[in-house]
Amino acid sequence: MIVSRRWLEELLGQPLDPKDIEERCHGFGAPVEAVVPLHRELADVVVGRVLEAGRHPNADRLSLCRVDAGGADGPVEVVCGAPNVTAGKAYPFAPVGTVLPGGVKLERRKIRGVTSNGMLCSARELGLGQDHEGILELDTAAAPGTPLLEVLGMADDQIHIEVTANRPDLLGHKGVARELAASLGARLRLPPIPGAPPEGATPALHAVPTRGQDRGTVDGLEVRLEYPEGAPRYLMAVVRGVRVGPSPSWLAARLTAVGQRSINNIVDATNYILFELNQPLHAFDLARLRGPAVVVRDARAAEPIVTLDGVARTLAPGMTVIADAERATIVAGVMGSAESEVTAATTDVVVECAYFDPPRTRRTRRALGLQSESSYRFERGIDMLAMPDAMRRALEVIVAVAGGTVREPPLDLWPRPQQPRTVFLRPERVARLLGVAVPRADIERLLSSVGFVVAPKDERLAVQVPGWRPDVTREVDLIEEVARLRGYDSFPSELGPYRLGTVPDAPVERAKSRVRETCVRAGMLEARTMPLGPADGPDAVALANPMSVEEGFLRRRLLPGLVRRVAHNWTVRNRDIRLFEIGTVFRQGPGALPHEDIAVAGVLTGARRPRHWTDGEEVPDMDIWDLKHHFELAVASAQPDAVIRPGAEEGWDAVLEPGGEVVGRAQAVRTDQPAWAAAVFGFEVRMAATEPSPAAYRAMPTTPPVERDLALVLGSGATAAAVEAVIRRVAGSLLESVAVFDEYRGVTVPAGERSVAWRCVFRDPGRTLREQEVDAVLTRVVRALKEELDVQRREG
Amino acid sequence: MRDLLASLDGLRGRLPEIAQADAMHLQQLRTELLGRKAGALTAILKQLATLDPEVRRTVGAAANALKGELEAALDARVRALAEIAGDEAAHDLTMPGRTAWRGGLHVLTQVVDEVCDIFREVGFTRAVGPEAETERNNFFALNFPVDHPALDAQESFYLGDDVLLRTHTSPVQIRTLETHPPPVRVVIPGQVYRRDTFDPSHSPVFEQIEGLAVDEGITFVDFKATLAYFARRFFGPRTRVRFSPSFFPFTEPSADMAASCSVCDGRGCPTCKQTGWLEILGSGMVHPAVLENCGVDAERYTGFAFGMGAQRLAMVRHGIPDIRLFFESDVRFLRQFAGRGR
């Protein structure tokens, strides 16, 4: 919302400082986004009084003037080309250095041999109008040197305030001024309309509510309110004999100051009321209403309409329309019609002052994709109780700026009249919520300052809510008003005691934190990727209203997103990349809500470790054994109960037994990659939010170990895991650990077979093992391997 | 022969002494044991020639083995002493050390954890909820009226008729209050979705941190105090805070909180757009309608709630100019916040 500082000054009857307004607006809840001084380009132009005007010595059409522009060095010589320059009169004077509208900077220069120290300006040169017949004569007694903007009353600031959706009253200058008046201790009063008769002089401007009625006539115009759900209150007036034309300068200036274009005196008058009182109005040409009648009704199914922008649209029930005797021409509160607009030929004007139902207006506006200053206000709710006042002031303005007469009071259709709402407030509840006992007298004073009417009622206060505050419906809203008007900063902020809550930490958050730590310790960098992407499987969850096809689905896995991030890193020549992410993945679920899981995924590519100068040659790139290590770490922390098995392709699965459910997968990732990039490996594990049981202490053995190396020749069918299982089972409790330390394929091993060597460590924690015992165990192991797996000990 | 072997054992007993010796003592030991003229072992070796061949073989083997041991021990001690002394002739110690890949948490994770940890200091535990939500939990239980302009700020991605991606973490307030009796003190981090196109300060997906405290006797003063505590802990002890009226359907009174700019200390700079203040969070006292919608007695219980954007906090704190950097996953960006190292 843009407010004009001058407009506020008129309403408050005192000068305002933009910085001060900014502070106060912030304090009452409408933060200022920007303050834009208007006509900045004219700031250097001053009043110049022409002391002497003589002929230019070298040019017939030019005059040479001595101008007092208030400068300390006395009057200056100025060459002027205008025919109307007259000694003794005042004109706008632009000194050397001024940049005029259009961007021309005035230089000191010689004109036909005489130096001119500035310029006397025409209206057009100042961007104030089209008049270029001569320089602008100023009817002022102001001292030479006074800024022109002050003399013309045009100095103004646009104050852009942010208005929250609950405060429609702040969408008009009066509402903003009301809050400022409370803050400043000033008095709010509507300024008189220039040229309007004194108040009360025209009784016909005052509407008389037709309580309970939904139809009537005003000055020969029939009005029927057939859809009070869409328009609970509807006022209409007729002004006959207007002269449509340009607005007077005061009216045009008001609208320009809030960023609106001046259109004609009738439209400008309605817009003036919109921005002053926050009451949208509509003016139609009576001659173009068939009937003449105005019918407010519900739109029919698939009812066609051509709106003011020339677009053919289709309406639906629930949208309120304004029709004449034949057909609908206006979508109520949203958009008018070209047919009934006021034109230069209009003489009799119909003025509509309506309350359109906020939710219906919003639905209609969204369905039609239209938005206007009016619909914005109707959606938020205007002051239903102040409509007759707004209508009266609108008629005053119209008559003042366009002439014409109002022969009959406005018709006021209000089938179900409403009383102002009363909300009860318990002073002790104020203390209970705000933590400060605000004295009852202060509560009354604060609420009254912005228009609430407060009366004691038992131990409570009965608070009548003004019509412009549709947001105040219950006690807590009044408590907010008390806090707001007292000032949030006036409340202390000392931390008091509190009770611990009943909500335990979410297990999944703790699990995520453990998995993160694991991945970071493994040298991986945490990434965040967009959860929206292309479809990734038949049970991917689609967005009903995506912003693009590439981002039409929720991610089903994290890994594809991470691989895309690897590709991005390649574009900036990063080669060594180890990323992981923990995030939500989505699948279609049995109900309306999708199924959500938390997953961890990682990608690895590039050097196994940073190259050190002692390494000599290049460090090897990561391979599937690096992948397996990272996968094992991730599974151990994210799915502690899962076991890892070779998977379908060259990779591994993490499997939950006994069901065999696959909860994780690791494999090489095939992707288009630059020639210099290394192979990419990826894994993903669905997380379980299980708390690990605390690690139990085991006494460190004091007896010595016995180590034995066991080199075995494995045929094509035998796996290391199977061999190890046999070793462990047969060796029993004396075996402390067993681990592969070598694999060999080559000339000394038959083709298709390989030699794998294990180091076995035996130990009895209670006594020193004898070599012969260990040899006996090993003999049993070798025999079992031969029998069960046909695996032999390697010769020699 | 036995005497000679006993002498050798006696000399072997000097080995621990070598391992402890300082540089000067080491030189003395070398001379005393292995000195060419008067070394004790040298003397034994010199005698070998005079012995029987059989004795000579036994004693000679033992003596030579001991000589090797002593020399090795002396050399090892020399190296050890050199290392302790930082012998620059041996190594250029300005050469880089051996490194390993260094992992790191995303800057957003760090900010979220820090915020949650600060609130943990004043009794808040950590809760979460799903990212896909019902309209009821996301809007209507939070007191958003149907067809109200307040919905305009929350343009949503829909998945179905009344299912959408949550536009804020506030639906977890509803889930928490419906499942846990007061007192409730939780912070709720999580990803949220709005139909905004990417630009330097907007993203269709971002991270929010919600907070909720509900109990008997919680007041506006507690609310201000808790958030001021957070601001000072997060931005520094000199931080000042400013609360101003705002509007959220689920809080009443509602407030925006600004903190004095941590970059310029409130004097005005580009980060705070010359205002001296940084808008940090939206907040307020929990609206009684929200408590009622969750079956909590709104006469007996009061509370406060707040929500802040983790990206915004990270951008302010770390001077990150563009929200898109958080999702790009350029390892050069990620490494900047992963601590020192590679």
Residues B112 and B258 in one domain: yes
Which carries the bigger pLDDT value, residue B112 or residue B22? Answer: B112
Q: For residue B182, what is the domain's CATH number?
A: 3.30.930.10
Q: Which of B334, B335, B336, B340 to mutate to test the interface with A (most CBs of A within 10 A)?
A: B334
Within 183-212 of B, beta carbons closer than 8 Å to A belong to 183-186, 189, 191, 195, 197, 204-205
Residue B323 near residue B310 (C-beta atoms within 8 A): no
Q: What ranges in A245-336 are assigned the alpha helix state H?
A: 249-257, 265-277
- Cα(A275)–Cα(A402) distance, integer angstroms: 19
Which residue carries 């005003």 as its tokens?
A218
- Which residues are CB-neighbours of A493 under 8 A, at least 6 positions away? B221, B224, B225, B228, B241
Which carries the bigger pLDDT value, residue A738 or residue B48? Answer: A738
Residues B67 and B121 in one domain: no
Does B267 fall in a domain? yes
B91 touches chain A (CB under 8 A): no
Residue A533 CA to its chain's centroid (Å): 23
Residues B165 and B72 in one domain: no
B175 touches chain A (CB under 8 A): no
- Cα(A685)–Cα(A363) distance, integer angstroms: 45
Taking the CB of residue A115, how many other CB atoms lie within 10 A of it?
13
Among the partner-chain residues A513, A586, A612, the one whose CB lies closest to the CB of B98 is: A612
- In the structure encoding, which two tokens stand for residue B178, read together? 């419906």
Taking the CB of residue B47, how many other CB atoms lie within 10 A of it?
14
- Which residues are CB-neighbours of A7 under 8 A, at least 6 positions away? A173, A254, A257, A258, A275, A276
- Cα(A85)–Cα(A715) distance, integer angstroms: 114
Report the residue of chain A nearest B175, measured CA to CA.
A503
- In the structure encoding, which two tokens stand for residue A175, read together? 């509402």
- Cα(A168)–Cα(A105) distance, integer angstroms: 44
How many CA atoms does the CB half-sphere of A762 hold within 13 Å? 24
List the domains of chain A with CATH numbers: 2-38+157-184 (3.30.56.10), 40-152 (2.40.50.140), 203-414 (3.50.40.10), 423-489 (3.30.56.10), 507-686 (3.30.930.10), 706-793 (3.30.70.380)
Which residue carries 């000392």 as its tokens?
A494
| Three-state DSSP string of A11-22 | HHCCCCCHHHHH
- Cα(A334)–Cα(B231) distance, integer angstroms: 44
Q: Shortest CA distance to A577 belongs to which of B330, B109, B98?
A: B330
CA distance B251 to chain A (A): 10
Indicate yes or no: CB of A495 within 8 angstroms of CB of B186: no
Residues B179 and B282 in one domain: yes
**Sign of the alpha-carbon torsion through A622, A624, A629, A632:** positive
Report the residue of chain B nearest A615, measured CA to CA.
B98
Does B211 fall in a domain? yes
Amino acid making up residue B104: G
**pLDDT by residue (tens digit) across B207-228?**
999 999 999 999 999 999 999 9
Does B55 fall in a domain? yes
- Which residues are CB-neighbours of A594 under 8 A, at least 6 positions away? A541, A554, A586, A587, A588, B132, B159
Instruction: Return mean pLDDT, chain B.
Output: 90
B294 touches chain A (CB under 8 A): no
Does B97 fall in a domain? no
Cα angle value A329/A332/A334 (rounded, 5°): 100
**pLDDT by residue (tens digit) across B298-313?**
999 999 999 999 999 9
pLDDT in the model for residue A577: 97
Residue A277 near residue A261 (C-beta atoms within 8 A): no
Residue B137: list chain A partners with CB under 8 A: none
Residues B213 and B162 in one domain: yes
- Cα(B205)–Cα(B207) distance, integer angstroms: 7
Q: Shortest CA distance to A158 belongs to which of A276, A251, A259?
A: A259
- A578, β-bridge pairs: A604
- Cα(B81)–Cα(B199) distance, integer angstroms: 62
Residues B146 and B285 in one domain: yes
Indicate yes or no: CB of B148 within 8 angstroms of CB of A543: no
Residues B81 and B117 in one domain: no
Residue B332: list chain A partners with CB under 8 A: 572, 574
DSSP secondary structure letters along A246-271: PPPHHHHHHHHHTTPPP--HHHHHHH
- Residue A138 dihedral angles phi and psi, to the nearest 5°: -105, 125
Q: For residue B149, what are the domain limits?
A: 107-336
CA distance A633 to chain B (A): 14
Residue B79 near residue B91 (C-beta atoms within 8 A): no
How many distinct structural domains can be found in chain B? 2
Residues B9 and B146 in one domain: no
Does B342 fall in a domain? no
B49 touches chain A (CB under 8 A): no
Average pLDDT, integer, range B277-294: 96
B106 touches chain A (CB under 8 A): yes
**pLDDT by residue (tens digit) across B72-117?**
888 878 777 777 766 556 788 899 999 999 999 999 999 999 999 9
CA distance A491 to chain B (A): 6
Q: In B104-137, which positions are buried (b, 16+ CB within 10 angstroms) versus exposed (e)?
A: bbbbbbbbbbbbbebbeebbbbbbbbbbbbbbeb
Residues B65 and B182 in one domain: no
Among the partner-chain residues B99, B218, B247, the one whose CB lies closest to the CB of A166 is: B247
Amino acid making up residue A276: E
- In the structure encoding, which two tokens stand for residue A537, read together? 């499987």
**Per-residue DSSP letter, B120:** H
- Cα(B90)–Cα(B32) distance, integer angstroms: 27
Residues in chain B: 342
- Cα(A532)–Cα(B179) distance, integer angstroms: 30
Indicate yes or no: CB of B219 within 8 angstroms of CB of A524: no
- Cα(B130)–Cα(B109) distance, integer angstroms: 18
Residues B77 and B147 in one domain: no
Residue A180 near residue A18 (C-beta atoms within 8 A): no
Q: Which of B85, B117, B143 is the last residue of a domain?
A: B85
Indicate yes or no: CB of B221 within 8 angstroms of CB of A434: yes
**Per-residue DSSP letter, A70:** S
Residue B219: list chain A partners with CB under 8 A: 432-436
Residues B139 and B268 in one domain: yes
Indicate yes or no: CB of B326 within 8 angstroms of CB of A528: yes
Phi-psi map region of A61: left, alpha, beta (phi>0 left; psi -120 to 50 alpha): alpha
- Cα(B131)–Cα(A595) distance, integer angstroms: 10
The CA-atom distances, in angstroms, between B212 and each of A51, A392, B145, B153, B283 are 74, 49, 21, 22, 10
Which residue carries 């004295």 as its tokens?
A439
**pLDDT by residue (tens digit) across B313-342?**
999 999 999 999 999 999 999 999 987 544
Indicate yes or no: CB of A528 within 8 angstroms of CB of B160: no
- Secondary structure (3-state) at B304: strand
- In the structure encoding, which two tokens stand for residue A515, read together? 């998995």
B232 touches chain A (CB under 8 A): no
Q: Shortest CA distance to B209 belongs to which of B119, B75, B286?
A: B119
Secondary-structure breakdown of chain B: helix, strand, coil percentages, each rounded to the nearest 5 = 45, 20, 35
Q: Shortest CA distance to A509 belongs to which of B209, B313, B327?
A: B209
- Burial degree of A567 (CB within 10 A; 0-12, 13-18, 19+): middle
Q: Shortest CA distance to A186 belongs to which of A21, A26, A13?
A: A13
The CA-atom distances, in angstroms, between A109 and each of A85, A112, A589, A603 are 20, 10, 81, 72
B226 touches chain A (CB under 8 A): yes
Residue B159: list chain A partners with CB under 8 A: 541-544, 554, 594
CA distance B9 to chain A (A): 27
Among the partner-chain residues B98, B152, B222, the one whose CB lies closest to the CB of A496 is: B222
Among the partner-chain residues B176, B215, B330, the one whose CB lies closest to the CB of A572 is: B330
**Sign of the alpha-carbon torsion through A511, A516, A522, A524:** positive
Which residue carries 């629930």 as its tokens?
A318
B132 touches chain A (CB under 8 A): yes
**Sign of the alpha-carbon torsion through A237, A241, A245, A250:** negative
Indicate yes or no: CB of A525 within 8 angstroms of CB of B338: yes
Taking the CB of residue B38, how many other CB atoms lie within 10 A of it?
9
Residue A168 near residue A470 (C-beta atoms within 8 A): yes
- Cα(A255)–Cα(A265) distance, integer angstroms: 11
Q: Shortest CA distance to B63 belongs to which of B13, B9, B24, B110?
A: B9
**Per-residue DSSP letter, B200:** T
B45 touches chain A (CB under 8 A): no
Residue A541 near residue A553 (C-beta atoms within 8 A): yes
- In the structure encoding, which two tokens stand for residue A592, read together? 């309306």
Does B101 fall in a domain? no
Residues B71 and B187 in one domain: no
Q: Which residues of chain A have pLDDT under 70?
A: 129-132, 209-210, 796
